[in-house]
C-alpha cells in the first residue's frame, strides 16, 4: 500500500513544472517565515530539498541572519544527526545526493535541543500523518523529540488519510503552498 502511494505522489510531484515549483516554493517559504511559532523559536532544523521537493533552502541563510541556530540533517549509519550550519555555502552532497554540512564542523558532536523541526515527505495527511521515502530515518529521529514538527509539501501531496504503522510519527502541522 505505501509503495503504491509513494509512486502516486512522486508522479504528482514530478508533474509540477519548474516555473510552478519555483513560485509555489516561494509561497511555502513565505508561510514559514510568517509562522507564529518562529517568533519565539531559537533552534531550527531545516532540510536541503531534493530536486522534486519544495525548495526551502533560502531559509537557511535567512534564519541564520535573523539570529536563529540552524541545523540540517546528516544521515550516518541509518540515523539522522542534526548538524549546525553557519552558511549555506558550506554544504556538500551526502546521503541520496542531499546537500548537507560536514560532521567535522561540529567538534565534539552533541544532539541539540530543537524548537522546530521541518520535515520533508512524499505525502502528508491533514492531521499530520507522513509518508516518507521508506527508510524510516525521520520516524526514528522524531521518536524522542519534543520539538514542534512541521511537514513541508506541495498541496498535491496533502490527503485526508495515509496508512499508519506503529513506528510512524505524526507531525504537529503541515505547511503547503496553499496553507
For the stretch 9-46, pLDDT in tens is 778 888 889 999 899 999 999 999 999 998 899 999 99
Contacts with 136 (C-beta within 8 Å, 6 or more apart), sequence order: 167
For the stretch 90-110, pLDDT in tens is 777 666 666 677 666 444 455
Give me the pLDDT at residue 42, please: 93
The full set of domains in the chain, from first to last, is 2-175 (3.40.50.10420)
Pick from 151, 149, 148, 117: nearest CA to 46: 117
Structure pTM? 0.85
Amino acid at each position: 500500500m505505501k509503495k503504491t502511494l509513494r509512486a502516486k505522489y512522486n508522479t504528482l510531484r514530478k508533474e509540477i513544472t519548474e516555473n510552478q515549483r519555483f513560485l509555489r516554493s516561494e509561497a511555502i517559504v513565505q508561510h514559514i517565515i510568517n509562522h507564529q511559532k518562529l517568533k519565539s523559536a531559537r533552534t531550527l532544523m531545516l532540510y536541503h530539498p531534493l530536486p522534486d521537493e519544495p525548495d526551502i533552502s533560502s531559509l537557511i541563510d535567512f534564519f541564520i541572519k535573523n539570529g536563529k541556530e540552524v541545523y540540517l540533517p546528516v544521515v550516518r549509519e541509518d540515523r539522522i544527526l542534526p548538524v549546525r550550519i553557519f552558511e549555506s555555502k558550506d554544504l556538500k552532497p551526502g546521503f541520496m545526493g542531499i546537500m548537507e554540512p560536514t560532521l567535522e564542523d561540529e567538534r565534539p558532536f552533541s544532539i541539540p535541543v530543537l524548537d522546530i523541526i521541518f520535515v520533508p515527505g512524499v505525502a502528508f495527511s491533514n492531521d499530520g500523518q507522513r509518508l516518507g521515502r521508506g527508510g524510516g530515518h525521520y520516524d526514528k529521529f522524531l521518536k524522542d523529540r519534543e520539538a514542534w514538527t512541521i511537514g513541508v509539501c506541495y498541496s498535491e501531496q496533502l490527503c485526508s488519510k495515509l496508512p499508519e504503522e506503529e513506528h510512524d510519527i505524526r507531525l504537529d502541522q503541515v505547511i503547503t503552498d496553499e496553507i
